[in-house]
């Protein structure tokens, strides 16, 4: 697929995905969502030696300032449901991706932008980053998973407050609430996100993928997260990486994982 709104740069096993609609503050239109779905659903799985993915926005003003309102201002209830479902399906591809996905939030992450950041496994925020779910100002609610993921990160009480007041919070408050993992100087978001992926990359890749699956299982309806953990633990026991990790521990050396 030829991407119009995504810039993909791969270096040292890390793919940096930049949403490039700077004049529109990187708003998520249908084309951008389709491209994100294709990348995380197909293209990214074919990148050899991939360590992880960084998601960011073009320019200094916005990570993603929201969904493109012009595309859904006249939707019927039935069309609105399909619109939200398609967005959730794309973000599930990100949340369930087997390698670490880190959002490098470099400005406004509002509405769909905040939802995109939350779908990533980890979030690094620049000092000027702003987060919020202001959909009630439009007579709407979040549709891409915002009401569910925000609770997971900051708890029901504060999530309800932010969702109902449409308040926008800064990076420091987001960090204190547990919405982001770290706050870094503006302009250093991608660099720090890359460093985080590099730190994870020296661990056993198979185990990392099972960590992602097991943690996600806690929140997925119909899944028993504890049983998923048991199953994943058993799978890890059959890997070459486990044998290498155990041997390295006994021999007091660093493990050399091969992802097998």
Give percent above pLDDT 70 in the chain. 100
Q: What is the per-residue pLDDT for 174?
A: 98
Which percentage of the chain shows pLDDT scores above 90? 83
Q: Assess whether pLDDT exceeds 90 at residue 198.
A: yes
Whether 115 is a known active-site residue: answer: yes
Catalytic site includes residue 48: no
* Marked catalytic residue, from 4, 78, 95, 115: 115
pLDDT of res. 28: 96
Residue 67's pLDDT band (cuts 50, 70, 90)? confident
Q: Which of 35, 95, 135, 189 is catalytic?
A: 135
In whole angstroms, what is the distance from residue 126 CA to residue 130 CA? 9
The per-residue pLDDT for 219 is 86
The 10s digit of each residue's pLDDT in 20-62 is 999 999 999 999 999 999 999 999 999 999 999 999 999 999 9
For residue 220, pLDDT beyond 90: no
Q: How far apart are CA 133 and CA 69, in angstroms?
A: 14
For the chain, domain boundaries: 6-201, 205-251
Is the Cβ–Cβ distance between 5 and 20 less than 8 Å?
A: yes
How many Å apart are CA 243 and CA 236, to the nearest integer? 10
pLDDT grade for 147, boundaries at 50, 70 and 90: very high
Under a CB-based contact definition with an 8 Å cutoff, are residues 28 and 55 in contact? no
Lowest-confidence segment of 4-18, 42-56, 194-208, 213-227 by average pLDDT: 213-227
137, pLDDT greater than 90:
yes
Task: Please name the helix (run of DSSP H) or strand (run of DSSP E) that holds residue 204, with its range, or none.
Answer: none
CB neighbours (10 Å) of residue 187? 12
User: How distant, in Å, are the alpha carbons of 18, 45, 55, 57 from that of 125?
Assistant: 15, 26, 12, 12
Mean pLDDT, range 108-129, rounded to an integer: 98
Residue 69 confidence (pLDDT) = 81
Closest alpha carbon to 65 in 6, 10, 23: 23
- pLDDT of 45 reads 97
pLDDT tens digit sequence for 234-258: 999 999 888 888 888 888 888 888 8
* Mean pLDDT of the 181-185 span: 98
Range 6-201 classified under CATH 3.90.78.10: no
Compute the mean pLDDT over every residue in the chain, rounded to the nearest whole number.
94
């Amino acid at each position: 697929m030829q991407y119009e709104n995504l810039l993909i740069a791969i270096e040292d096993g890390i793919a940096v995905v930049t949403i490039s609609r700077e004049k529109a503050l990187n708003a998520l239109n249908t084309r951008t969502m389709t491209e994100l779905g294709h990348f995380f659903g197909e293209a990214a799985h074919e990148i050899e030696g991939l360590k992880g993915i960084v998601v960011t926005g073009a320019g200094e003003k916005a990570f993603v300032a929201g969904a493109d309102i012009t595309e859904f201002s006249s939707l019927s209830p039935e069309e609105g449901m399909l619109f939200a479902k398609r967005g959730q399906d794309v973000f599930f591809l990100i949340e369930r991706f087997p390698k670490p996905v880190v959002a490098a939030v470099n400005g406004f992450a509002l509405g769909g932008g905040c939802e995109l950041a939350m779908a990533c496994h980890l979030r690094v925020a620049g000092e000027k980053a702003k987060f919020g779910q202001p959909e009630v100002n439009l007579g709407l609610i979040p549709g891409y998973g915002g009401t569910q993921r925000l609770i997971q990160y900051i708890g029901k009480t504060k999530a309800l407050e932010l969702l109902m007041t449409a308040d926008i919070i800064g990076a420091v408050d987001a960090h204190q609430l547990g919405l982001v993992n770290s706050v870094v100087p503006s302009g250093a978001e991608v660099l720090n996100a890359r460093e985080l992926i590099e730190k994870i990359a020296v661990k056993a890749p198979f185990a990392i993928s099972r960590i992602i699956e097991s943690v996600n299982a806690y929140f997925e309806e119909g899944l028993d997260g504890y049983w998923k953990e048991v199953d994943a633990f058993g799978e890890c026991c059959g890997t070459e990486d486990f044998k290498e990790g155990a041997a390295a521990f006994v021999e007091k050396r660093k493990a050399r994982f091969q992802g097998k």
